[in-house]
Amino acid sequence: MTPIELYIHIPFCVKKCLYCDFLSGVFDEKMQRRYVAALCTEIKYAASTHPGCIVSTIYVGGGTPSWLSEDLMDAIITTVKNCFKLDPLAEISVECNPGTLSSEKLNVYRSIGINRLSIGLQSANDDELKELGRIHDYNRFLHTFDLVRKAGFDNVNVDIMTGLPHQTIEKLDRTLNAVTMLRPEHISAYSLIIEKGTPFYEKYKFDAVKQQAGMETEDLPTDELSYRLYKHTMDFLEAKGYKRYEISNYARNGKICRHNVGYWDRVPYLGLGLGAASLFNNVRTSNVRDIYKYVETSEALEKGVSLDFELSSPYFESEEVISKKDAMAEFMFLGLRKIDGIARADFYQMFGIDIEAIYGPVITALRNQGFMDAKEGRLFLTDIGIDVSNQVLSKFLLD
Amino acid sequence: MDQSKIRNFCIVAHIDHGKSTLADRIIQMTGTLTDREMQAQVLDNMDLERERGITIKSQAVRIIYKADDGNEYIFNLIDTPGHVDFNYEVSRSLAACDGAILVVDAAQGIEAQTLANVYLALDHDLDVIPVINKIDLPSADPDRVIEEIEDVIGLEAQDAPRISAKTGLNIHDVLEAIVNKLPAPKGDSKAPLQALIFDSLYDSYKGVIVFCRVKEGTLKVGDSVKMMATGATFDVVEVGYFGAGQFIPCDELPAGMVGYMTASIKNVRDTRVGDTITHANKPAAEPLPGYKKVNPMVYCGLYPADGAKYPDLRDALEKLQLNDAALYFEPETSIALGFGFRCGFLGLLHLEIIQERLEREYNLDLVTTAPSVVYRVYKTDGTMIELTNPSNLPDPSEIDYMEEPIVEAEIMVTSDYIGAIMDLCQERRGQYISMEYIEETRAVLKYTLPLNEIIYDFFDALKSRSRGYASFDYEMKGYMKSDLVKLDILINKEEVDALSFIVFSGTAYDRGRKMCEKLKDEIPRHLFEIPIQAAIGSKVIARETVKAMRKDVLAKCYGGDISRKKKLLEKQKEGKKRMRQVGNVEIPQAAFMSVLKLDED
């Protein structure tokens, strides 16, 4: 049995946040039902084309999956259970936003086996929440968090963001205090990225360039402040007992997100739903991004219409076979995102060649510059290496 | 063919006065092209030319015109470039003509290049007929411009056609003027062959296509011909004339005709532009008078961004040289840039055009070093070297003195900006010669200027300080003793040879400071701090610092992001490839060129 992970994409949200470039949009319930039906068809199809797999984790992301009514979530998880073999100890996560959960919904979640929730807070300051275009305020988050705990969830993540417009160390402190006080098991702390195609891009694109160039900025924190915000977050969370295990992820008592760690370890995963990406047998694929194309594909499959498709699944929009060199590069740039880095032995086992034969000079150079270190058969980035990890990780790409 | 029914002519004008538009219109009105074939500008068939709105290469076209006298005439229209850098190309084209049309903008009147081109045409004994263009503009004042032409140039202009090449107004008058006022070619088609090469083109099937004007004798298919200067002989495979955008073969080109020949010529060096073609077995006694010999005035290093493309760059330069006799190159090496070529150009525009053609037509990524003029270095041992690469400057102890090339510049400017332009010339070490009002509101300033003060950005400065009202032309005047130093740039304590340049000692400090400031903006932050210094010998005269980068992190990287993030990292790495490694500092290739444009920030 090959252990695999499932990612299930729910592309719906109540309102699009101003910084968000994820594949999601506002659709009515009719469309949501039609989509979930299509999703269940894809789950069945994927199970039939991937026999002999056992599902170790499920991650339902979005969008705002918690916005779906509970019967739809039930339908999705039940379909997975019916079609795939599911590890009894599987981690099953769902992304939630404050204001989209009720105790009834949470009870359904519990009953179908969902055992981990990830709540998008981003900030405990209402002015910042408003600036980000979030649908909730801080009080609403507190209420949601209380519901989650009362429903019995003991593996909960809270997302926060640094590098927000006009953010100061004091404002960040308020958020950090407010979150750690509640003792969630896991905290993800992301630096805001100004992504193309978002309203934030139009608003802050010049500032973003200035920030990157180390110049004075108007609204976004300067490069120097954004560095301090990021460092402060790390120091603060570590002091509160949250251990950093990846660039942006912190966990208490070893409650890491197993699903996400799988991405960095290159465990095979199937992405199901609109635009979802998969890695299987060293082939990276991604599903169509047009929601109508997606549902029509499922509906045609259901009707038994024979479909013409060029890639290896009618759902795929792209398919890329990963060369050995690319696989090695991915192993490095994904694995080194983890604080404990990668094991030399794993590299050898995966590729049948000693890591030094491929990356010897790069590793030596990075170690000499103080960006990388080695201990007990493992290679990992130092703190300053992580700070500039884009620079460091790009050195592992092979020509 | 009746020689009296042939007219070989060109159109000369200041840049933007409408030369190419008029050429288009003439071609259209003579009916050799349907409207559908009519591209915006027929003669400017290189993309680059259209984008820049200027004509780079002279080209020719043969058209048929049925005149009011009932006869059919053959017009050979040769298009010429208008920019000061291309005076040489203009002169080549002019030598193939018997007459010229002078186009003058009805609003702007005579400009510096109008004068320069007219004088060049008169030097070649061409008959010149003036044409007043753009009379449809609200600001047109044709009467004033006609008066100006008569006063300043001394050409009879009272009955000059008043036209709008854009709308097609009165083009017929131009066509009739060509028939009635320009001379027919002379020459005996039975005499020994003398044909002047005025341009050429490399075609991968036909070999070199030689553009020529038959002055005496007849050039036929099958003839055994000899290039009088190089001595190379060939058997003519094809002769023909220029249709619009195509070559049209024929049997022979008699005296008076303009056309082309091919002869399976593979070696580009055998057909020098300016040479005379004659028959191998019945050669002419003498070659035609040569073209004005032009030497490159501006040199720079051209390096392939990817070192493996060095042979490709050499091939591309060889091919360009075929069409462009003014382009010179020889191999050189740089510590910072590796293997490349030191190339000579007519001017900075010529340099930029060659660079862009190499990049676009030959898909080469290039790094260009600071342009330099040719300095004369007189050594203490009594010898003199001509220095085209600043890195080769001998040790100061071996140098007695140095000389730099100077030009005499003519600047035409409206009276409001005379002060500003005089200041500019002063700043550029200009020496005032004279000022003459050609009309109440306009004057011609004459200055002697060191060439190295005008090759970078003089033209831009001139335009911005006169709000576009100044025009400029210059010619080489020789050399002048001068107090020059070599300015070196050190990046992270290492000297970057490709950034060294020779500068007048009085402006070295200022230049060095600006270079450092500019480089500070061009060099991306690294993981460590980078000092940038300007130095003369061992003395540092300016310093800037590129601060270290502290944070560059991808916050998120999950399943769906991996391809995208990989592309991002690849882009980062790719970006580095486009940089030059000097010590452990990566310098963007653009930095080598952009540091030159220091003036207008």
Give residue B311's pLDDT. Answer: 94
Nearest CB partner across the interface for A277, out of B549, B554, B559: B559
CA distance B489 to B513: 10
Six token digits for residue B40:
């915006």
CA distance A175 to A154: 21
Best to test chain A binding among B547, B550, B586 (most A CBs inside 10 Å) = B550
B210: β partners? B200, B261
CB contacts, 8 Å: A223 with chain B = 550-551
Least confident of A36-50, A126-140, A158-172, B113-127: B113-127
Angle at Cα A336 formed by Cα A334 and Cα A339, nearest 5°?
A: 125
Residue A112: pLDDT band with limits 50, 70, 90: very high
- Cβ atoms of B584 and B492 within 8 Å: the answer is yes
B232 to A77, B174, B214, B226, B265: CA distances (angstroms): 85, 41, 18, 6, 10
Instruction: Please check the confidence at residue B600 and state whether its pLDDT lies above 60.
Output: no
Six token digits for residue B539:
């003395």
Instruction: Please check the confidence at residue B83 and state whether its pLDDT lies above 70.
Output: no
pLDDT digits (tens, 9 = 90+) for A127-151: 999 999 999 999 999 999 999 999 9
How close B549 comes to chain A (CA, Å)? 8
- Cβ atoms of B241 and B257 within 8 Å: the answer is yes
Q: Is B549 on the interface with A (CB under 8 A)?
A: yes
CA distance A185 to A142: 16
How close A102 comes to chain B (CA, Å)? 28
Could you list the beta-strand ranges (E) of A170-297: 186-191, 243-246, 249-251, 269-272, 277-280, 283-287
Taking alpha carbons only, the member of A226, A107, A128, A111 closest to residue A178 is A128
CA distance B89 to B291: 10
pLDDT digits (tens, 9 = 90+) for A222-232: 988 999 999 99
CB contact under 8 A, B563 and A386: no
CB contacts, 8 Å: A278 with chain B = 559
Q: Higher model confidence: residue A266 or residue B31?
A: A266
CB contacts, 8 Å: A361 with chain B = none
pLDDT digits (tens, 9 = 90+) for B523-547: 888 888 999 999 998 899 999 999 8
CB contact under 8 A, A227 and B573: no
Alpha carbon A247 to its chain centroid, in Å, reads 12
Nearest CB partner across the interface for A390, out of B525, B554, B563: B554
CB contact under 8 A, B557 and A214: no
How close B556 comes to chain A (CA, Å)? 7
pLDDT digits (tens, 9 = 90+) for A232-258: 999 999 999 999 999 999 999 999 999
Residue B40: pLDDT band with limits 50, 70, 90: very low
Q: Is B158 on the interface with A (CB under 8 A)?
A: no
Instruction: Please check the confidence at residue B293 and state whether its pLDDT lies above 70.
Output: no
Q: Higher model confidence: residue A100 or residue B305?
A: A100
CB contact under 8 A, A388 and B549: yes
CA distance A370 to A390: 15
Max mean pLDDT range (A155-159, B45-49, B404-408, B475-479): A155-159
* DSSP letters spanning B367-417: EEPPPB--EEEEETTS-EEEESSGGGPPPGGGEEEEEEEEEEEEEEEEGGG
Name residues 327-386 of chain B within 8 A of A (Cβ).
Answer: none
How close B306 comes to chain A (CA, Å)? 14
| DSSP letter assigned to residue B515 | H
Positive or negative, the Cα torsion across A147, A150, A153, A159? positive
Counting runs of H as helices and runs of E as strands, what totals does chain B give? 13, 32
pLDDT digits (tens, 9 = 90+) for B387-430: 988 888 998 899 999 999 999 998 988 888 999 999 999 999 99
A286 to A9, A134, A311, A313, A397: CA distances (angstroms): 12, 28, 11, 10, 22
Six token digits for residue B131:
């044409």
CA distance B119 to A102: 90
CB contact under 8 A, B553 and A386: yes
What number is the average pLDDT over the span B126-134? 93
Q: Quick one: closest CA in B to A257, which residue?
A: B558
CA distance A39 to A47: 12
Instruction: Please check the confidence at residue B575 and state whether its pLDDT lies above 80.
Output: no
Give the ipTM of the model, two decimals please: 0.87
Q: With residue B355 as reference, give the H or E element that holds it.
A: helix B348-361
CB contact under 8 A, A190 and B568: no
In chain B, the percentage of residues whose pLDDT exceeds 90 is 39
CA distance A149 to B499: 65
List of residues 6+ apart from B510 with CB closer than 8 A = none
B310-323 helix and B348-361 helix, angle to the nearest 10 degrees: 120
List of residues 6+ apart from A112 with CB closer than 8 A = A73, A74, A77, A78
CA distance B601 to B110: 31
Best to test chain A binding among B521, B557, B561, B564 (most A CBs inside 10 Å) = B557
What number is the average pLDDT over the span B197-206? 80
Give residue B33's pLDDT. Answer: 46
- Cβ atoms of B84 and B76 within 8 Å: the answer is no
Give residue B595's pLDDT. Answer: 66
SS3 string of A116-154? EEEEEEECCCHHHHHHHCCCCCHHHHHHHHHHHHHCCCC
Taking alpha carbons only, the member of B351, B346, B342 closest to residue B392 is B342
Mean pLDDT of chain B: 85
Max mean pLDDT range (A58-67, B237-246, B382-391): A58-67
Burial A266-281 (b: 16+ CB within 10 A, else e): bbbbbbbbbbbbbbbe
pLDDT digits (tens, 9 = 90+) for B543-557: 999 988 888 888 888
Give residue B180's pLDDT. Answer: 94
Residue B245: pLDDT band with limits 50, 70, 90: low
CB contacts, 8 Å: A248 with chain B = 555-556
Q: Is B308 on the interface with A (CB under 8 A)?
A: no
Give residue B56's pLDDT. Answer: 38
CB contact under 8 A, A260 and B558: yes
Amino acid identity, position A382? T
Q: With residue B108 as reference, give the H or E element that holds it.
A: none
B243: β partners? B246
CB contact under 8 A, A394 and B556: no
What distance separates the 2 farthest-apart alpha carbons in chain B? 84
Instruction: Please check the confidence at residue B52 and state whether its pLDDT lies above 50.
Output: no
How close B508 comes to chain A (CA, Å)? 28
B144: β partners? none
Give residue A330's pLDDT. Answer: 96
What number is the average pLDDT over the span B345-374? 86
List of residues 6+ apart from A47 with CB closer than 8 A = A83, A84
Categorise residue A267: left if φ over 0, alpha if ψ from -120 to 50, beta otherwise. beta
What number is the average pLDDT over the span A189-193? 93
CB contacts, 8 Å: A226 with chain B = 551
- Phi–psi pair at B63, nearest 5 degrees: -135, 160
What number is the average pLDDT over the span B456-474? 80
Best to test chain B binding among A388, A389, A395, A398 (most B CBs inside 10 Å) = A388
Residue B258: pLDDT band with limits 50, 70, 90: very high
Instruction: Please check the confidence at residue A99 and state whether its pLDDT lies above 70.
Output: yes
ω before B290 within 30° of 0 (cis)? Answer: no
Give residue B579's pLDDT. Answer: 77
A114 to A35, A59, B294: CA distances (angstroms): 21, 10, 83
Positive or negative, the Cα torsion across B189, B190, B196, B199? positive
CB contact under 8 A, B556 and A214: no
Give residue B57's pLDDT. Answer: 46
Angle at Cα A169 formed by Cα A168 and Cα A172, nearest 5°?
A: 90
Name residues 554-573 of chain B within 8 A of A (Cβ).
Answer: 554-560, 562-563, 565-566, 568-570, 572-573
What number is the average pLDDT over the span B490-509? 90
| DSSP letter assigned to residue B272 | -
CB contact under 8 A, A214 and B525: yes
CA distance B117 to B130: 12
B235: β partners? B224
Six token digits for residue B599:
């003036």
Q: With residue B199 as reference, give the H or E element that holds it.
A: strand B194-203
Six token digits for residue B404:
């730099």
What number is the average pLDDT over the span B270-296? 81
Give residue B46's pLDDT. Answer: 47
CB contacts, 8 Å: A390 with chain B = 552-554, 568-569, 572
State the pTM of this model: 0.64
CB contacts, 8 Å: A371 with chain B = 527
Give residue B597's pLDDT. Answer: 64
3 state DSSP class of B501: strand
Positive or negative, the Cα torsion across B347, B348, B353, B359? positive
Give residue B34's pLDDT. Answer: 40
Best to test chain B binding among A257, A390, A395 (most B CBs inside 10 Å) = A390
- Cβ atoms of B99 and B8 within 8 Å: the answer is yes
